[in-house]
Amino acid sequence: MSDSDRELIVETQYWRFAEPPDRLKLRCGEELGPIDVAYETYGELSERKDNAVLICHALTGDAHVAGRHSAQDEKPGWWDVMVGPGKPIDTSRYFVVCTNLIGGCKGSTGPSSINPENGKPYALDFPMVTVRDMVRVQHAFVRNCLGLERLLCVIGGSFGGMQVLQWSIDYPEMVYAALPIATTSRLSALAIAFDEVGRQAIYSDPNWRGGDYYGRKPPHRGLAVARMIGHVTYLSDQSMHEKFGRGLQDRPGFGYDFGPPDFQVESYLRHQGDAFVQRFDANSYLYITKAMDYFDLVSDYGTLIKAFEQVRSRYLIISFSGDWLFPSYQSREIVRALQANAVLASFCEIESGYGHDVFLVKNPALENIITNFLNNCQDGIRGVSQCR
């Protein structure tokens, strides 16, 4: 049996901090505490503590990045194609960590968590959180729970890539290497528009009740529609044509009605929406999409070049030619700003017609690039350690 064929069994763990009165001051001006952080770790930390890789998840991800929670678990983690023994992010070489973001609904403190002040779910009383807040929580976890002073690499795709950028800016001495994939320094008006349409779908569901639906029937219909809208942006014209075309769904011809779906693509999107509501919270969707919209390094620092003035990490930025949600020109803007600061930054655009979500599926080109980059980073950080 090869390394990559070995089953990876992992357990979600939890860490609490920011206990009152030492609550965390958020960027919006409010305070939050206590804060629970759900996390998973894979592999073993080296004696020198120089092999830690932090993976930041995207919008609807969680801490379960790879492996299974038991031998009977039917579905592996969301990036199991990339993380595990013998895989590009090789857990036989690296100590891999992934946390669930605050504001989420998969174990870390979010709107569905209990507000200690009244014993009820926060709902919309949960404060607005930003990418910077999320990274501050990750940093506190890495330093105080894991006891790490440096990370070999911080990796993330899409919204996870925004966290990677923020990590390298806020904690330049702690991040040896940064690997943002299919991301941007700020959302375009088009991307913000899609987020808003998704939120409006949730608001329009009568079961949303202004966010106060816990213990009642949740706004599944609105959340399902939001997911359907979002999922369309993750694909591409080519991928949808090749997968569905105009194929009919279990019908010899058009139904000429508004009943069961006529087309395969309609059925597929309905399935995506129905499956999503079983694992995600509508309020978390609202909070995290808002955090995405608010992320803007140009606005925060004046220019993108100024944003990266203190960065000390070596960078690899990856984009995909078929990604129309976060197109490659946005990655090139990041590269130019890094190089203007004499940061060691490489860029690779991978040819693919399969849209934004291609980084989540098996992709040999992406796998080879990440494997080689991490190998070089490990050689580099060990060389630095030996010189000290």
Burial class (CB in 10 A: 0-12, 13-18, 19+), 69: middle
> Which value, to the nearest 10 degrees, does the dihedral of the CA atoms of residues 373, 342, 168, 22 take?
150
- Does the active-site annotation cover 241? no
CA atoms of 344 and 330, how far apart (whole Å): 18
How many CB atoms sit inside 10 A of residue 220's CB?
A: 17
Burial per residue of 222-247, b for 16 or more beta-carbon CB atoms within 10 angstroms, e otherwise: bbbbbbbbbbbbbbbeebbeeebeee
CA atoms of 233 and 292, how far apart (whole Å): 15
From the list 112, 158, 284, 328, the catalytic residue is 158
Structure tokens at 368: 């080879």
- Does the active-site annotation cover 356? yes
Structure tokens at 276: 């999503």
From the list 57, 64, 139, 356, the catalytic residue is 356
Closest CA to 61 of 44, 82, 45: 82
How many CB atoms sit inside 10 A of residue 375's CB?
A: 13
From the list 323, 328, 331, 357, the catalytic residue is 323
- Does the active-site annotation cover 64? no
Residue 274's H or E segment, with its range, is helix 264-276
Strand 35-42 and strand 31-32: the pairing is unpaired
Considering just the CA atoms, what is the radius of gyration of the chain in Å? 21
Residue 140's H or E segment, with its range, is helix 131-140
Instruction: Look up residue 134 and give its DSSP letter.
Output: H
Residues noted as catalytic: 158, 323, 356
